[in-house]
Structures are given as structure tokens and as C-alpha cells.
Amino acid sequence: MENIFDVEVSTKAGKDLRKVPLYIALKLQTWIDAVGHSGLDEVRKIPGYHDEPLTGKRKGQRSIRLNIAYRAIYTINKDGVINFVEIQEVNKHDY
């Protein structure tokens, strides 16, 4: 697959973003802007985002860390567009 530059935010992820602290929403926007500018391959190299594939029920999805408590879950569709499906709050009890 060639490098990906397009990102969409699902309706659910958009609703999730309205519930998170502003700095979390800004960090996701920074990631989206970086993908639009440099492409997904380059942004995945940034260690602070910990871009990783998920397993189990979420196999086929990937996540990035927005901070220790928030993850953004995304998929890549057949057209090569990143689609954020959910912003998830995680705490130590979810590990």
C-alpha cells in the first residue's frame, strides 16, 4: 500500500472529541495535520504516538496514544483513507 495522506473522523469519534480535554483534541489534530503533510509512514516513526496494531476484538484496527489516558482508534479503508472510529479513555483498570 502506498503512503496515506487522507484522514477522516467518524461521527462517533467527533462526539468523543467534544468530551475530552482540549489538549487531547489538539494533539489528535496535530497528528492529522502531520499525516496530511508528511504521510502516515513518516508519522508512524514518531515514538510519542506509539502507533500500534490492535488484537482480539479490535483486530484490523490501530491505535495512537494521545496521552497516558486517551487512545485514538483508527482503521484504513480500501480507498487508503484513515478513519478515526473512536477516542477511548483508558485507565489502569482497563489493562
**CATH assignment of 6-90, given 3.40.50.300, 3.30.2310.20, 1.10.10.10, 3.30.70.100?**
3.30.2310.20
In this prediction the pTM is 0.88
Strand-strand pairing, 62-65 and 81-89: unpaired
CB-neighbour burial class of residue 25 (10 A; exposed 0-12, middle 13-18, buried 19+): middle
Classified as helix, coil or strand, 61 is: coil
Tally of CB atoms within 10 A around 11: 8
Q: Cα dist. 5→56, 69, 72 in Å?
A: 27, 26, 17
Q: In this predicted structure, what is the pLDDT of residue 18? A: 94
| Residues of the chain below pLDDT 50 | 95
Classified as helix, coil or strand, 43 is: helix
